[in-house]
Structure 1
Amino acid sequence: MSLHRRAFSPAAPLVATLVLTMVAACGGGNPLGNPDEVANPPASGTRKLSFAYFQRCVQPILEAQLPITLNGVTTVNSCASSGCHDDTNGTGGALRLRAGAALVDLASSGLGPEQIRATEMYRNFYSSQGEVVFGDTLASRLIAKPLVRGVLHGGGLVFDSEDDPNVRILRYWIEHPMPAGQDEFSAAGDALFTPPDAATGACNVE
């Protein structure tokens, strides 16, 4: 009696390629959804930027209505809008922002670092700092993308040049980290204002 072994050939695998493109006011994110809620633990590493300067000087830029040029058409929008980097509906990649985040009273005795890190303003700070390249300011996506310098930006051209007042604020923030060994809430952040008071001083740009 001869035994015949039935040979099984594996089915040819199904190969599918899905290409989705969404460019509506801002692009670069996943159009099918948004990231899960992100916890904000203390920043790691040796460099930390000033939270005080961020909320007083940088956050207003991210919420400002600015002229944006895309494909030769100029419209007005904000970085924190729902079509761009809004944390809920935005399609603008890694940078996630909460519009209308309340200022944090850093002088309040009832607020410690952990309480501040739980605020919406801190979420914006943390996400924005993640777009920073220490030691190479203009390579930071927070600046390079709105300038469209060597990187694509689905949101188009936001700033015409490095001399734009908003770019100068962003550069100053990035180029003035807190002293080594001090966190983002360091009192050294007062020196980034004139007079040196994070609550009442004007934002330095040079």
Structure 2
Amino acid sequence: MRVLLLFVPLSSMFMVGCGESVKNEEQAVNQQLIFADYQTSVNAIFDMDIDGKVCSSSGCHDIGNGSGGGLKLYPNAALDSFEMDFNYRVAQSLSNLTNPNQSKLLLEPLAGTFSITGSHAGGDIFANVNDPNYLTILAWISNPEEVTSGETP
């Protein structure tokens, strides 16, 4: 039996239901996501029980014991702590500021989407694009702030 191996960089493309390819686009270097909004709305989603699943739990995306790919989180991070800053930076790295609804942070746990490595091992977290938690994260990604000279995103 012959096996054909095809290597595709994981960061350049992932699959979205029905064989549709989505390519990552260049990110605007003069923009960053708003940390205060992340602290007050987005991070709480990762610590929330969603149908018996908690994203930041030790079996999923916990920085210490989680098996959840590139999204590693400190559970229950305190406001303005190193852990919160870390969580923010990881979430920002999985966000597409040019095309927010194509962010890996949103697509991976969305029902009906599949990354190049398969479906989200934790199952469907967002039933559809009208899920309130999906919309909260989408709103955060859709509203970056401009970075002025000398600031570091």
1:149-198 CA-partner distances (Å, limit 9, x unpaired): 2422111101111111111110110000012427589xxxxxxxxxxxxx
Aligned with residue 30 of structure 2, among 41, 46, 53: 46
Q: Matches of 2:63 and 2:72 in 1, distance apart? A: 5
Whether 1:85 and 2:61 are equivalent positions in the alignment is yes
Q: Is the radius of gyration larger for structure 1 or structure 2? A: 1
Opposite residue 162 of structure 1, the aligned amino acid is V
Q: CA RMSD in A?
A: 2.0
Aligned partner of 1:62 in structure 2 is: 46
Identify unmatched segments of 5+ residues in structure 2: 1-27
Aligned partner of 1:129 in structure 2 is: 92
Q: Matches of 2:134 and 2:59 in 1, distance apart? A: 22
Q: CA deviation at 1:45?
A: 3.0
Runs of 4+ aligned structure 1 residues displaced above 4 Å come to: 182-185
CA contact (8 A) 1:62 1:78 kept: yes
CA contact (8 A) 2:30 2:146 kept: no
Identify unmatched segments of 5+ residues in structure 1: 1-43, 68-75, 105-115, 186-206
Instruction: Figure out how many residues of one structure are paired with residues of the other and give that number.
Output: 121
Q: Matches of 1:46 and 1:84 in 2, distance apart? A: 32
TM-score (structure 2 length as normaliser): 0.73
Aligned with residue 129 of structure 2, among 124, 137, 162: 162
CA contact (8 A) 2:114 2:120 kept: no
Residue 128 of structure 2 aligns to a residue whose secondary structure is coil
Aligned partner of 2:23 in structure 1 is: none
Q: Matches of 1:50 and 1:184 in 2, distance apart? A: 12
Q: Matches of 2:141 and 2:60 in 1, distance apart? A: 22
Q: CA deviation at 1:77?
A: 1.4
Q: Matches of 1:125 and 1:78 in 2, distance apart? A: 17
Q: Percent identity?
A: 33
Residue 135 of structure 2 aligns to a residue whose secondary structure is helix
CA contact (8 A) 1:82 1:90 kept: yes
Residue 109 of structure 2 aligns to a residue whose secondary structure is helix
1:72-96 CA-partner distances (Å, limit 9, x unpaired): xxxx111100011000000000111
CA contact (8 A) 1:49 1:184 kept: no
For residues 111-126 of structure 1, what are the structure 2 equivalents within 5 Å?
119-126=82-89
Aligned partner of 1:71 in structure 2 is: none
TM-score (structure 1 length as normaliser): 0.55
Opposite residue 86 of structure 2, the aligned amino acid is R
CA contact (8 A) 1:51 1:184 kept: no
Once the two structures are overlaid, the 10-residue window that deviates more, 50-59 or 128-137, is 128-137
Q: Matches of 1:45 and 1:155 in 2, distance apart? A: 32
